Amino acid sequence: MEKIAAVYLAHLNPVTNSHEKIISQLSKDYHVYVFPVVFLKEGREVNTRTFPFPYELRKKMLLSLFNGHDNIEILPNYRFISPFIKYLPPILSPYSWSLRKGILRDVVEDRFISYTGDKAERIALRFYNLHPIKAKRLEISSSNVKELLYREALEYLRKDEFTRNLKNGLNHSNHNHHKNQNGDQVSESSKESWQKMVPKNVVNIIMENWKIVEKYAKSADKTIKIFGMKIPEEGLLN
């Protein structure tokens, strides 16, 4: 029987239970090629509040789940090189077709399909002749997970600041103390929620790299959406 490939283009930032389920299911029928999106400027990966975890960390998350699976490969070919504006508008830009060529470079099978749960993305993949299959939207999105991560990080940062202020002998009103206690409760709720949304191995990797979560929790999101595509502002025009 002829083997068919499955191309999975995704943010995977971070990897969720839904991602694990999708890749596992695809691997039963296809040779799966997973392509986490990468934005590069002068050879350096550009990360934002929307795209906090770099490619190597996302690859590590995937390998923690699928290492040893001969039917699953993780590749860095889904890469945008600054200025990112050159890939727009999709379909019409010759650079977007070069991106397609790069993605398929290491796909050895003659026949392939692609996967997305988003209707608009499915239409775009069809225009690019990437043969998308009909699929349902993710049950758990990375955006939901990130917001819970950032909420927890901010609450713990406030708690740390409150503790430092106490040690410095500053006077705090009962009102401020009450707010902090509420914040602690929110962070516990956030922690319980996001940890249920990602695989246990990925939880460990996120906790090991918690400084990244704290960094972007305190940052404005320097990402814009053009033609339905999320793109970092840095590197957009140069």
Parse the chain into domains and list their residue ranges.
Answer: 5-133, 142-218
- pLDDT at position 136, please? 78
Quote the CA–CA distance of 235 and 228 in Å, as a whole number.
18
Instruction: Look at residue 152 in the predicted model and tell me its pLDDT.
Output: 95
Q: Which of 29, 37, 11 is nearest to 111 (CA)?
A: 29
Q: What pLDDT band is residue 171 in, cutting at 50, 70 and 90?
A: low
% the chain with pLDDT above 70:
86
* CA 233/CA 85 separation, integer angstroms: 10
CATH of domain 5-133: 3.40.50.620
* DSSP state for residue 27 in the 8-state scheme: H
Structure tokens at 207: 């906790």
* pLDDT for position 173: 46
Q: Which strand (E) or helix (H) includes residue 7? A: strand 5-10
Please state whether the peptide bond connecting residue 89 to the residue before it is cis, i.e. omega within 30 degrees of 0: yes
Contacts of 121-130 with C-beta under 8 Å, sequence gap 24+, read 121/228, 124/90, 124/91, 124/228, 127/90, 127/91, 128/91, 128/96, 128/97, 128/100, 130/7, 130/100
CA distances (Å), origin 218, targets 34, 37, 74, 193, 215: 30, 23, 30, 20, 6
Q: Residues with Cβ < 8 Å from 144, sequence gap 6 or more?
A: 197
| pLDDT mean across residues, the chain | 89
Instruction: Read off the pTM.
Output: 0.87
pLDDT value at 158 more than 90: no
Query: ∠ at Cα 46 (195, 194), nearest 5°?
Result: 10
